[in-house]
Chains A and B, each alone.
Chain A
């Protein structure tokens, strides 16, 4: 099993550009989420989904959109990139809504906005 796959691994954007970060999992997990990791701040939840067609906001949702049309995929869209969105982004999945199962993380996307 590949687990959670994130693409691209690295990306440089200009301010105002839009892009989509891809996340796919092959474990048939219902729960998927996006985090951003910034130095000294741990991981902060952006958006999450408890199943296909269902999404909700996390702690820092502004400037990001998500959709969940299939169980496998959970893309994160940056609508108009800003330097404050420079970060490392992680996608995570879990068997059910219930983080007590533990999350499986992707290897991350390092995004720089100039």
Chain B
């Protein structure tokens, strides 16, 4: 069965520092991979996705993620954090065998220190 593990339920960084949110998945074949962001009292918004092709994926708001098959990872990064990045971030995976079912990780809350 597919699963998604997000390391760290809460990450705190200083404004201007590197943001690194970790995501690992379990799958016998590479799935489709996603990062979603949820701002307070809002629904989830697609940040970026990996389906096929280039393993480094760029998303909105300066975020990017790299698919590493050998490590079964899809970590999210941003070189310089802004206060507006404070939100909850969800990694998600869709297995090829059942493309309608997306499986979410438990989420990582990102806080930004002034």
- Contacting residues, chain A, for B4 (C-beta < 8 A): 42
Instruction: Determine if B102 and A103 form an interchain contact, defined as CB atoms under 8 angstroms apart.
Output: yes
Instruction: Determine if A99 and B99 form an interchain contact, defined as CB atoms under 8 angstroms apart.
Output: yes
- Contacting residues, chain B, for A41 (C-beta < 8 A): 106
Selected interface stretch from A43-51, A61-69, A73-81: A43-51
Question: In the complex, what residue of chain B is closest to A108 when comparing beta carbons?
Answer: B43
Instruction: Determine if B43 and A99 form an interchain contact, defined as CB atoms under 8 angstroms apart.
Output: no
Instruction: Determine if A107 and B100 form an interchain contact, defined as CB atoms under 8 angstroms apart.
Output: no
Question: In the complex, what residue of chain A is closest to B46 when comparing beta carbons?
Answer: A102
A108 vs B50: C-alpha distance when bound (angstroms): 26
Instruction: Determine if B101 and A58 form an interchain contact, defined as CB atoms under 8 angstroms apart.
Output: yes
A97 at the interface (CB under 8 A from B): yes
Instruction: Determine if B106 and A100 form an interchain contact, defined as CB atoms under 8 angstroms apart.
Output: no
Q: How large is the interface on A (under 10, 10 to 19, 20 to 34, 35 or more residues)?
A: 20 to 34
In the complex, number of A-B residue pairs with CB atoms less than 8 Å apart: 62
A4 vs B42: C-alpha distance when bound (angstroms): 12
Q: How close is B67's CB to chain A, nearest CB, in angstroms?
A: 13
A106 vs B45: C-alpha distance when bound (angstroms): 9
A108 vs B46: C-alpha distance when bound (angstroms): 16
Question: In the complex, what residue of chain B is closest to A58 when comparing beta carbons?
Answer: B101
- Contacting residues, chain B, for A106 (C-beta < 8 A): 43
- Contacting residues, chain B, for A50 (C-beta < 8 A): 100
Select which of A4, A33, A100 is within 8 A of B51 by beta carbon: A100
- Contacting residues, chain B, for A34 (C-beta < 8 A): none
Instruction: Determine if B106 and A40 form an interchain contact, defined as CB atoms under 8 angstroms apart.
Output: yes
Instruction: Determine if A105 and B105 form an interchain contact, defined as CB atoms under 8 angstroms apart.
Output: no
Q: How close is B26's CB to chain A, nearest CB, in angstroms?
A: 15
Instruction: Determine if B49 and A43 form an interchain contact, defined as CB atoms under 8 angstroms apart.
Output: no
A residues with a Cβ closer than 8 A to B are 4, 31, 33, 35, 40-45, 48, 50, 58, 90, 92, 97-100, 102-108
B residues with a Cβ closer than 8 A to A are 4, 9, 32, 34, 41-46, 49, 51, 90, 92, 94, 99-102, 104-107
**A–B pairs, 15, beta carbons within 8 Å:** A35-B104, A40-B107, A42-B4, A42-B104, A50-B100, A92-B44, A99-B101, A99-B102, A100-B94, A103-B102, A105-B44, A105-B45, A106-B43, A107-B43, A108-B41
